[in-house]
């Protein structure tokens, strides 16, 4: 029974991931994510439902369009698989509860933000700006966060990263500020601390690695969104344990 629900969450995640691919492709172009139906970017032919089955269709078609044989990015099945796995973990941890749908929505937003930031070095306002009030509403009525914690989280995330942006003189983008404000509104101030610590640590490690391997200068900023999204994911799934472990460590 338990496993059946988790497996269903995985399959649902695969299907949602397919839609997230559309968002990742169209949001930076300011296109509608609903119309028109999916079509091949190579030849423009519309993709039939049986060629649009998450992960499977990619494998069956060998990563190519059925009509023009243009190769399809491996990013599509990866996003579908990642969404499936994250939905599986979320339902395994939070079960069938009122907060779970909110967390699935937040995870979906984080996947879209991370991939778009990686590709275009932008974090779309169309996700983060509505996300801030939505986070406050969900925290008040559906999540264990509560309104007060959400407001402190919003101020800590948005304000903290605004300060970093001022001090670093543009080293931090406006998109990162709005993303952190949104995360604070959904997850509260403790999650902001965890997200900042883990995101910075990962960003520093990858940054140093890229500088060493590719000889990239400090000017080539690594997009920070994917690291913040990963930090938020850790805060969401294992935040309670981390806080308990850390405070136990202190005593």
Nearer CB in complex with Zn ion: 43/210? 43
According to DSSP, residue 217 is labeled -
CB of 63 to Zn ion, least distance (A): 12
Residues linked to residue 151 through DSSP beta bridges, in sequence order = none
Question: Which chain residues interact with Zn ion by CB under 5 A?
Answer: 40, 42-43, 65, 67-68, 70
Nearer CB in complex with Zn ion: 59/68? 68
Say if residues 65 and 72 touch (Cβ distance below 8 Å): yes
Distance from C-alpha of 90 to C-alpha of 9, rounded to nearest angstrom? 9
CB of 241 to Zn ion, least distance (A): 47
| φ, ψ for residue 39, nearest 5 deg | -140, 160
Nearer CB in complex with Zn ion: 65/150? 65
Residue 166: Cβ within 10 Å count: 10
Looking up tokens 């308990």, which residue turns up?
244
CB of 68 to Zn ion, least distance (A): 3
Distance from C-alpha of 132 to C-alpha of 235, rounded to nearest angstrom? 18
Say if residues 219 and 171 touch (Cβ distance below 8 Å): no
Nearer CB in complex with Zn ion: 46/98? 46
Nearer CB in complex with Zn ion: 52/121? 52
The three-state (H, E, C) secondary structure of 23-50, written as one string = HHHHHHHCCCCCCCCCECCCCCCECCHH
Q: For the residues of 160-179, what is the DSSP string, one character each?
A: HHHHHHHHTTSSS-HHHHHH
> What is the Cβ-side half-sphere exposure of residue 47, based on CA atoms within 13 angstroms?
23
CB of 176 to Zn ion, least distance (A): 36
Distance from C-alpha of 153 to C-alpha of 193, rounded to nearest angstrom? 9
């Amino acid at each position: 029974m338990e496993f059946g629900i988790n497996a269903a969450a995985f399959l649902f995640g695969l299907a949602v991931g397919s839609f997230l691919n559309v968002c990742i492709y169209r949001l930076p172009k300011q296109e509608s994510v609903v119309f028109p139906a999916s079509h091949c970017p190579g030849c423009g032919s519309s993709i039939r439902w049986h060629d649009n089955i998450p992960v499977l269709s990619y494998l069956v078609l060998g990563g190519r369009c059925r009509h023009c044989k243009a190769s399809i990015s491996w990013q599509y099945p990866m996003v579908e698989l990642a969404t499936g796995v994250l939905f599986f973990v979320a339902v395994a941890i939070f079960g069938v509860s009122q907060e779970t749908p909110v967390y699935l929505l937040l995870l979906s937003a984080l996947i879209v933000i991370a991939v778009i930031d990686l590709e275009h070095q932008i974090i779309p306002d169309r996700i983060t700006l509505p996300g801030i009030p939505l986070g406050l509403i969900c925290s008040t009525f559906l999540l264990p966060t509560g309104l007060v914690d959400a407001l402190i989280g919003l101020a800590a995330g948005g304000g903290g990263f605004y300060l970093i942006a001022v001090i670093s003189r543009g080293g931090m983008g406006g998109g990162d500020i709005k993303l952190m404000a949104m995360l604070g509104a959904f997850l509260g101030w403790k999650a902001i601390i965890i997200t900042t610590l883990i995101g910075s640590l990962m960003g520093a490690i990858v940054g140093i690695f890229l500088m060493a391997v590719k000889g990239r200068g400090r000017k080539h900023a690594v997009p920070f969104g994917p690291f913040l999204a990963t930090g938020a994911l850790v805060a969401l799934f294992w935040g309670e344990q981390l806080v308990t472990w850390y405070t136990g460590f202190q005593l």
